[in-house]
């Protein structure tokens, strides 16, 4: 590359010098006009033209032939021909090589220009190195503050919370630094690869060969000059950027190594501290900073650490925070709409205790969203959780306003206040004697309240009886905290103090999260009894009126995990489980981990769950009869394709995330093919038939169909079978293969339903009048379509009547029996008014009497007698 981009391009300079010297000697001839050529120049041109005559014209005389040549003349002629042919071959080969080289040069010059432009873009679109340098300096200045109370001689007592927060900050900084390093490394790789590609192109030997043709040589010199001009400005930028990138990469690598070393050291300190957690930690020296430092100084140092812990964590997980905000807005809009619809549709007071969710839509949405999505954040610092719980507690308090009785409202407010105080005490990272007494006071409140509850029996007024379990847990844990604090177990006492208040507040918070969800589902089932376009397209009949049982299990598990995070033993336990899950195991030539298998199962489970949840957005429709209705509800027909796509995507993601080689899928497919060939033909047939139904749209969800003469409504099209709601009241499950193979009548996609009726009148009645009466009845009925035009015509002479055929089309399939009955009634009524008779069937009987002189033969037995 330096052959082209070097500040002193020696080879390029020699090439350009050679080109221009050659061209200067040729430009004079090109600059002259034909009129200025001298006689001598003309003669030279003629001489050159004679030399350029064909080889055989110059060798053979015009008056000779090979027949008249002697032997020695033939030999001389052959030698001359060979010499001339060699010269011609050499000259043509030289021209061919020059032409080939020129074509290669054009391609190389084009590639070189593209790479130079690409390098310019790379140099222009670089990371913000100034910002990265400022961040590195800020981190270096921040490290002494983070390590305060850890590596210095602050006190003989070490705070486990201080070690945990410091470790969390260092991990967050390391994670952010790793992201910066990846950004810089990616940029450096692109820049160096572009530099390498320019070097590889500029080192091609074809670039340094001048074309024989003068015009091509001139054009080539222009191209080389243009490239030389383009490369000069970027040389200094490239050199500067390379030095800058090298410096930043070195600083980032050193910082990452330093951060990892500090994290490892803090982890060792935490492990050593927790091995002595049941020993007294309070120093005996009265001059220790545990006694001399004020609580204010400790709080100021703690604020710095907690602020940076929150700042870095929010910066890393800002995408999840934004996603949570979006979910909150969706839930709020839904509850707000539910409130408006409830006010319109329900006659009773919507704001009773069963509809508490509608009292404050914003606060209820906050409780539901934060109650669920707080578990979607990975190992956040305590201050992040504390902020989430502060918002949730305020929101739940506003929901409780006017709902709880005075005592329990006061209890809730006091519990929240002391919970927040316990959280603030937990965020004091440098131990002091003042904090020791503060912990005593907070813990004693919990014990006193439990005693008060036991003796005054206030639990009878509780609307949620299960809260008493959390009150007992609060009192017991706070009592343990007081005992541990009294015996000098400072860190363990703080863990129990915080856990007690966390247990009761989070327990109530999660209980009401479920309760508000159940209230919302119950109200939605009443309001949105029939899914339609304005009802969020959600089938609330499928959702039900309560959250599923597994939801309670996950909330209880999440509550236990949040409480357990206050104890280092839980952290060690979770780390050991994580190591067990991530440890690589080998079976034959295949390496795997339990975590990979677990991820595989979880992703498949989630994909199946999402596939099932999609069915909540498909209605259980009534029969539809118009194209507009069919379009509005057509999503249910495509639901099968969406579900198959979700499951297939989940399957491939599961293989990729778990580390299972994708080539193993071929083995599985091979095994499945054998199974399909042996016994799964019917299953595959039904699956493919379902895909055909979804793609062809011959029948959709909600269509009115008729199977074997029985009408029904298409409810759903599944993987293997479809469900039809029959008008008889039953629900029929039909394999998809049978829907394809057997005759299926779709009334929705047709023109309507045809009705035929035959009316007979007596021969004495006025035929034209009867036809006019029937036409009038048909034209007045709005249920009968005007097109195709109804037909009322005399059909034939029957035995006792003249038959009139009445044929028309109905707008709705369901009007068939009612229109037919009304038509018969009106025809009978108007025929009577107009004197038109409907005859009964008549038969003429002719009785023939036998002759009087006819003898009746007697039977043989009578003659014998």
Q: How confident is the model at residue 251 (pLDDT cuts 50, 70, 90)?
A: very high
Select from 720, 746, 772 the last residue of a domain.
746
Q: How many domains does the chain have?
A: 4
The pLDDT tens digits for 214-243 are 887 888 888 888 877 777 778 888 888 899
**660 pLDDT higher than 70:** no
Whether 20 and 96 share a structural domain: yes
Which among 393, 379, 380, 387 is positioned nearest to 513, based on CA atoms?
393
Whether 691 and 761 share a structural domain: no
Whether 493 and 384 share a structural domain: yes
Q: Give the span between the Cα atoms of 566 and 569, in whole angstroms.
A: 9
- Please answer whether residues 764 and 837 qualify as being in contact, where contact means their C-beta atoms are separated by less than 8 angstroms: yes
Select from 275, 302, 337 the last residue of a domain.
275
Q: Which residue do the tokens 């329900």 mark?
A: 346
Output the pLDDT for position 255.
92
Does residue 573 form part of some domain? no
Does residue 297 form part of some domain? no
Reading phi first (left if > 0) and then psi (alpha if -120 to 50, else beta), residue 850 is in beta
Output the pLDDT for position 365.
92
Q: Mean pLDDT throughout 788-794?
A: 88
Burial class (CB in 10 A: 0-12, 13-18, 19+), 770: buried
Average pLDDT, the chain: 77
Q: For residue 189, what are the contacts with CB-CB under 8 A and spacing of at least 6?
A: none
Sign, Cα dihedral of 498, 503, 504, 508: positive
Does residue 571 form part of some domain? no
3-state helix, strand, coil in the chain (%, to 5): 70, 5, 25
Does residue 282 form part of some domain? no
Whether 557 and 617 share a structural domain: no
Does residue 499 form part of some domain? yes
Output the pLDDT for position 589.
64
Q: In what order do the strands lie in the sheet with 704-707?
A: 731-735, 721-726, 710-717, 704-707, 744-746
Output the pLDDT for position 158.
81
Does residue 455 form part of some domain? yes
CATH number reported for the structural domain that contains residue 760 in this entry: 3.30.70.100
Output the pLDDT for position 81.
80
Query: Which of 205-219, 533-547, 782-796, 838-852 has the weakest average pLDDT?
Result: 533-547
The pLDDT tens digits for 263-279 are 988 888 888 888 887 88
Whether 197 and 162 share a structural domain: yes
Whether 727 and 767 share a structural domain: no
User: Would you give the DSSP letter of residue 205?
Assistant: G
Query: Which of 376-380, 464-468, 800-804, 838-842 has the weakest average pLDDT?
Result: 464-468
Whether 740 and 760 share a structural domain: no
Whether 416 and 508 share a structural domain: yes
Whether 116 and 46 share a structural domain: yes
Q: Mean pLDDT throughout 756-778?
A: 88
Reading phi first (left if > 0) and then psi (alpha if -120 to 50, else beta), residue 415 is in alpha
Q: Mean pLDDT throughout 273-290?
A: 81
Output the pLDDT for position 627.
52
Q: What percent of the chain has pLDDT over 70?
A: 75
Q: Mean pLDDT throughout 520-547?
A: 55
Whether 48 and 169 share a structural domain: yes
User: 16 or 847, which is more confident?
Assistant: 847
Q: Give the span between the Cα atoms of 596 and 603, in whole angstroms.
A: 10
User: Would you give the DSSP letter of residue 574?
Assistant: H
The pLDDT tens digits for 608-647 are 777 766 655 554 454 454 555 545 444 455 666 677 777 7
What is the CB-side half-sphere exposure of residue 212 using CA atoms within 13 A? 11
Q: Give the span between the Cα atoms of 4 and 111, in whole angstroms.
A: 13
Whether 481 and 560 share a structural domain: yes
* 782: three-class secondary structure by DSSP: coil
Select from 746, 767, 792 the last residue of a domain.
746
The pLDDT tens digits for 187-199 are 999 999 988 888 8
Does residue 543 form part of some domain? no
For helices 318-345 and 490-527, angle between their N-to-C axes, nearest 10 degrees: 40
Which among 654, 678, 677, 674 is positioned nearest to 664, based on CA atoms?
654
Tokens, residue 323: 């996603």
The pLDDT tens digits for 360-403 are 889 999 999 999 888 888 888 899 999 999 999 999 998 888 77
Does residue 525 form part of some domain? no
* Parent domain of 761: 753-833
Output the pLDDT for position 538.
44
Whether 196 and 165 share a structural domain: yes
């Amino acid at each position: 590359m330096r052959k082209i981009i070097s500040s002193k391009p020696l080879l390029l300079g020699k090439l350009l010098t050679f080109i221009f010297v050659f061209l200067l000697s040729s430009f004079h001839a090109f600059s002259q006009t034909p009129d200025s050529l001298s006689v001598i120049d003309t003669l030279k041109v003629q001489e050159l033209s004679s030399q350029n005559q064909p080889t055989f014209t110059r060798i053979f005389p015009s008056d000779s032939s090979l027949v008249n040549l002697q032997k020695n003349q033939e030999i001389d002629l052959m030698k001359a021909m060979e010499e001339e042919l060699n010269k011609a071959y050499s000259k043509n080969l030289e021209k061919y090589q020059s032409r080939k080289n020129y074509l290669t040069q054009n391609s190389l010059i084009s590639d070189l220009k593209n790479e130079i432009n690409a390098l310019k873009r790379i140099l222009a679109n670089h990371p913000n190195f100034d910002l990265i340098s400022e961040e590195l300096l800020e981190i270096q200045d921040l490290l002494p503050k983070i390590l305060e109370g850890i590596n210095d001689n602050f006190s003989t007592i070490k705070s486990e919370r201080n070690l945990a927060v410091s470790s969390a900050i260092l991990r967050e900084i390391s994670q952010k630094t790793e992201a910066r390093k990846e950004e810089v490394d990616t940029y450096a790789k692109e820049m160096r690869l572009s530099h390498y590609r320019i070097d590889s192109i500029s080192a091609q030997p074809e670039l340094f060969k001048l074309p024989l043709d003068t015009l091509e040589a001139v054009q080539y010199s222009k191209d080389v000059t243009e490239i030389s001009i383009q490369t000069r400005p970027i040389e200094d930028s490239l050199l500067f950027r390379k030095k800058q990138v090298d410096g930043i990469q070195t600083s980032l690598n050193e910082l990452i190594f330093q951060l990892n070393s500090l994290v490892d050291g803090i982890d060792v300190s935490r492990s050593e501290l927790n091995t002595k957690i049941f020993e007294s930690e309070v120093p005996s020296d009265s001059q220790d900073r545990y006694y001399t430092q004020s609580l204010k100084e400790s709080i100021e140092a703690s604020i710095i650490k907690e602020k940076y812990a929150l700042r870095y964590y929010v910066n890393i997980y800002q995408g999840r925070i934004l996603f949570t905000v979006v979910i909150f807005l969706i839930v709020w809009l839904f509850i707000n709409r539910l409130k408006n619809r409830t006010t319109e549709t329900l006659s009773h007071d919507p704001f009773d205790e069963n509809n508490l969710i509608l009292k404050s839509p914003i606060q209820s949405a906050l409780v539901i969203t934060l109650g669920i999505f707080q578990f979607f954040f990975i190992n956040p610092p305590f201050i992040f959780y504390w902020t989430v719980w502060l918002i949730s507690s305020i929101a739940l308090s506003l929901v409780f306003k006017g709902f709880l009785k005075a005592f329990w409202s006061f209890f809730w407010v006091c519990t929240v206040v002391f919970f927040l105080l316990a959280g603030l005490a937990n965020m004091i990272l440098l131990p002091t004697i003042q904090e020791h007494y503060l912990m005593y006071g907070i813990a004693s409140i919990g014990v006193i309240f439990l005693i008060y509850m036991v003796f005054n029996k206030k639990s009878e007024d509780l609307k949620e009886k299960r809260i008493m379990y959390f009150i007992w847990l609060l009192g017991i844990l706070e009592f343990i905290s007081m005992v541990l604090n009294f015996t000098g177990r400072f860190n363990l006492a703080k863990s129990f103090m915080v856990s007690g208040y966390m247990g009761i507040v989070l327990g109530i918070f999660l209980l009401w999260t479920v309760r508000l969800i159940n209230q919302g589902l119950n109200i939605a089932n009443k309001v949105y009894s029939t899914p339609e376009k304005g009802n969020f397209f959600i089938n609330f009949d499928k959702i039900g009126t309560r959250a599923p049982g597994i939801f309670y299990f996950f909330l209880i598990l999440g509550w236990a995990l949040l409480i357990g995070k206050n104890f280092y033993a839980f952290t060690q336990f979770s780390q050991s489980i994580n190591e067990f899950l991530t440890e690589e195991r080998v079976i034959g030539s295949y390496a795997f981990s339990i975590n990979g298998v677990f991820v595989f199962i979880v992703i498949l489970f989630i994909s199946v769950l999402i596939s099932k949840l999609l069915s909540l957005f498909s209605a259980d429709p009534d029969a539809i009869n118009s194209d507009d209705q069919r379009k509005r509800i057509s999503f249910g027909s495509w639901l099968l394709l969406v579900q198959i796509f979700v499951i297939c995507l989940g399957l491939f993601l599961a293989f990729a995330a778990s580390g299972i080689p994708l080539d193993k899928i071929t083995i599985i497919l091979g095994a499945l093919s054998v199974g399909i060939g042996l016994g799964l033909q019917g299953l595959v047939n039904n699956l493919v038939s379902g895909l055909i139904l979804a793609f062809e749209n011959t029948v959709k969800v909600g269509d009115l169909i008729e199977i074997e003469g029985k009408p029904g409504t298409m409810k759903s099209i599944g993987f293997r079978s479809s469900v039809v709601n029959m008008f008889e009241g039953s629900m029929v499950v039909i394999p998809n293969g049978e829907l394809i193979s057997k005759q299926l009548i779709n009334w929705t996609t047709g023109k309507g339903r045809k009705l035929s009726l035959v009316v007979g009148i007596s021969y004495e009645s006025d035929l034209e009048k009867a036809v006019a009466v029937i036409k009038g009845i048909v034209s007045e009925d709005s249920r009968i379509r005007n097109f195709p035009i109804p037909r009322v015509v005399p059909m034939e002479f029957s035995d006792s009547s003249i038959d009139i055929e009445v044929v028309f089309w109905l707008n709705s399939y369901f009007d068939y029996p009612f229109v037919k009955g009304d038509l018969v009634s009106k025809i009978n009524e108007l025929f009577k008014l107009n004197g038109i008779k409907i005859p009964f069937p008549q038969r003429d009987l002719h009785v023939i009497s036998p002759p009087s002189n006819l003898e009746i033969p007697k039977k043989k037995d009578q003659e014998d007698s």
